[in-house]
Structure 1
Amino acid sequence: MTHIALGTIPFGTTVDEATSFAILDRFTGAGGTMIDTSNNYPFWIEGATGRESEATIGRWLAARPGMRDRIVLSTKCGAFPAMPGDRTLERSEGLSGATIRAAIEGSLRRLGSDHVDVYWAHIEDRVTPLEDQVDALAKLVETGKAGELGASNHATWRVERARGIARAAGRPGYSLLQLRHSYLRPRPGTRMPEWGHVQATEETFDYLRAEGLRLWAYTSLLAGAYTREDRPIPPAYDHPGTERRLAALRSVAEELGATVNQVVLAWLTAQGVVPIVGVSTLAQVEEAVGAADVKLDDELRARLDDPALA
């Protein structure tokens, strides 16, 4: 069984429906269970509505009787543009109670399901009181429309404050985080050029360990930059440590007869992280699910954790 989540941003737009279905079939056929989407994927593409990914997954589920009970279905709300035609996140729907209620109903309709297994607050809303956000999200769990709640792209202190509100009221709260994270590390303090991306830090992992939360990591393969010549390593990762970590990755991959991407995914899952892997071809699915066969012993993990020791 693979312990990665399938990222589905381009499904129904730049990846046509037939290919999307084939990818979903191969992923689940290989033992994959976690499928990640959102109610705004991919609104930023000209001509797209932002509803295509969910709708494509819903049609796939309708065509695969019994599949819904075999998967962990994850979607999000809060980052759909508030203004029709807007291709930015400068003004988004937010996390008011009314917005959350409307968003979950829309997602369930498009997905063809009476519940989602994980429901994420996609980006922060610092206008709506946290108490209102916590109340609206908790009701989704209490009424069976969501299984677990997660915070995506939130500051740690906001997550903890929201969890404290829920805890004090004896109600469901966030149990998962979704942040940007990969094997390579950006320079400390770097702001990602992608609007809304929040990078996991050492503080994040300290918090996860202390509170028993789990991380789902997006951009886990840096959009292909580990292996594709047409996808350079982003400038945020331009520092001496990157070359040391890349050298360690390539050395371990060669020893194991695996790809660099597979070693990255194996390293992440060995830490208890769920890497979200966006794919657009069957070949990319094959590589991703093949990471489940890559085993990192203590010596290999030590070399990856601290390339200076290699």
Structure 2
Amino acid sequence: MTIPQRTIALGTLPFGSSVDEAASFALLDRFTELGGTVLDTANAYAFWVNGTTGGESEAVIGRWMAERGNRDSLVLSTKCGARPTGPGLDLEASEGLGAKTVRAALEDSLRRLGTDRVDVFWAHLEDRSVPLDETVGAFAELAEEGKAGELGVSNHAVWRVERARALAGDRPRYTHLQYRHSYLQPRADLALPSSAHVHVTDDLLDYVRAEDDTRLWVYSALLSGGYSRPETVPAAYDHPGTPPRLAALAEVAGELDATLNQTVLAWLLDAEPGFLPIVGVSRIAQVEEAMGSLELVLSEDQRARLDAAGR
């Protein structure tokens, strides 16, 4: 299924772990009722919650799709490479991106999801212990077999993305990129909330603008509720540029009669290059708020004010 040009992906990280199955089904139902089609998950979600091992999110989505019979109306996105190799382990013991591991990971994801293909299959984290051409070849092979419609890469250095795309040659290559990004910008000298997170940079934006076959997805688009609860915004965002940016955001949100979250999503959706925001949810109201942002259109003046604030 084709991904709409202006859309939001539902982030399903907590489904099956901190969000139980009944609540997950309700969130998925409401998202699709409102026209949503893109689901983003990973085989690692969410190994660090409640003693789980990863794969719980995929399994819940699989059971939901089986009950609803709606697989063909969805864009299904999942990732491999970050799942730990045993219970109680962390990213230091992740499965990695060796060819055999990549194939086995996708086969396991397909089984949990109850489908014969995913629409986008991602390399979740870098694995520099494996030759890049081995990983590139493994992903290309799965796309050629029809088990992965398109390929993506997240949290990689830009030069590694370019090298991987060049190594693919005429074979299927990474066309989807996924990184952390939001309206508020972090300091470069302080760590992000997770060591695995890699933030959008000017170099990455320049690369995406130059490569017209790429699509940039962004996670933590709403800073895990930080716009609604400023006290939860990570320390990396505590700098002199943040208050004027929040002031501009509040001003434009008032003009649009929208929430701060909706205004952030509208800013992302119509940016240049445009982003595909991934919005994590745990309540129906959050789904409805996020989908409401698709109705918003920023004026040139509003966008200019938002862009200039805090610079």
Per the TM superposition, whether the score is higher than 0.5 is: yes
1:252 & 1:64 partners in 2: Cα distance? Answer: 39
> Could you tell me which residue of structure 2 aligns to residue 294 of structure 1?
296
- C-alpha contact (below 8 Å) 1:134/1:165 kept by paired residues: yes
- C-alpha contact (below 8 Å) 1:6/1:278 kept by paired residues: yes
> Could you tell me which residue of structure 2 aligns to residue 246 of structure 1?
246
1:46 equivalent to 2:47? Answer no
2:95 & 2:203 partners in 1: Cα distance? Answer: 29
SS at 1:24's partner residue? helix
1:9 & 1:189 partners in 2: Cα distance? Answer: 28
Q: Which residue identity is paired with 2:221?
A: S
1:78 equivalent to 2:81? Answer yes
Go from structure 1 to structure 2 and tell me whether the alpha carbon gap of 1:131 and 1:308 turns closer, same or farther (over 3 Å shift): closer
Q: 1:126 aligns with which of 128, 152, 165?
A: 128
- C-alpha contact (below 8 Å) 2:240/2:310 kept by paired residues: no
1:142 & 1:214 partners in 2: Cα distance? Answer: 20
1:192 equivalent to 2:202? Answer no
1:216 equivalent to 2:217? Answer yes
What do residues 255-280 of structure 1 show as CA deviations (whole Å, max 9, x unaligned)? Answer: 11100000000100112100100000
2:108 & 2:297 partners in 1: Cα distance? Answer: 41
- Identity in percent: 61
2:31 & 2:254 partners in 1: Cα distance? Answer: 25
1:268 equivalent to 2:271? Answer no
1:3 equivalent to 2:15? Answer no
1:189 Cα offset (Å): 4.2
Q: Which residue identity is paired with 2:91?
A: L
> Could you tell me which residue of structure 2 aligns to residue 64 of structure 1?
68
Q: Which residue identity is paired with 2:304?
A: A
> Could you tell me which residue of structure 2 aligns to residue 182 of structure 1?
182
What do residues 126-176 of structure 1 show as CA deviations (whole Å, max 9, x unaligned)? Answer: 011001001100011100000111111100011111111002xx1111101
- C-alpha contact (below 8 Å) 1:89/1:195 kept by paired residues: no
SS at 2:96's partner residue? coil
1:3 & 1:133 partners in 2: Cα distance? Answer: 29
2:88 & 2:187 partners in 1: Cα distance? Answer: 34
1:295 Cα offset (Å): 1.2
What do residues 180-235 of structure 1 show as CA deviations (whole Å, max 9, x unaligned)? Answer: 00000011344314121001011110010011221110000000011125x52211
> Could you tell me which residue of structure 2 aligns to residue 101 of structure 1?
103
Q: 2:154 aligns with which of 139, 152, 159?
A: 152
2:289 & 2:61 partners in 1: Cα distance? Answer: 22
> Could you tell me which residue of structure 1 aligns to residue 30 of structure 2?
26
> Could you tell me which residue of structure 2 aligns to residue 55 of structure 1?
59
SS at 1:49's partner residue? coil
> Could you tell me which residue of structure 2 aligns to residue 307 of structure 1?
309
1:217 & 1:264 partners in 2: Cα distance? Answer: 12
Go from structure 1 to structure 2 and tell me whether the alpha carbon gap of 1:171 and 1:245 turns closer, same or farther (over 3 Å shift): same
TM-score normalised per structure 2: 0.95
Go from structure 1 to structure 2 and tell me whether the alpha carbon gap of 1:14 and 1:84 turns closer, same or farther (over 3 Å shift): closer
Q: How many residues were matched structurally?
A: 304
1:76 & 1:53 partners in 2: Cα distance? Answer: 12
Go from structure 1 to structure 2 and tell me whether the alpha carbon gap of 1:19 and 1:25 turns closer, same or farther (over 3 Å shift): same
Go from structure 1 to structure 2 and tell me whether the alpha carbon gap of 1:255 and 1:77 turns closer, same or farther (over 3 Å shift): same
- C-alpha contact (below 8 Å) 2:193/2:234 kept by paired residues: no
2:195 & 2:62 partners in 1: Cα distance? Answer: 28
Q: Structure 1 residue runs of 4+, over 4 Å off?
A: none
Q: Which residue identity is paired with 2:157?
A: A
* Unpaired stretches in structure 2, ≥5 consecutive residues: none
2:264 & 2:195 partners in 1: Cα distance? Answer: 24
Q: Which residue identity is paired with 2:150?
A: E
What do residues 95-122 of structure 1 show as CA deviations (whole Å, max 9, x unaligned)? Answer: 0011011000000000011000000000
- C-alpha contact (below 8 Å) 2:182/2:221 kept by paired residues: yes
1:190 & 1:264 partners in 2: Cα distance? Answer: 23
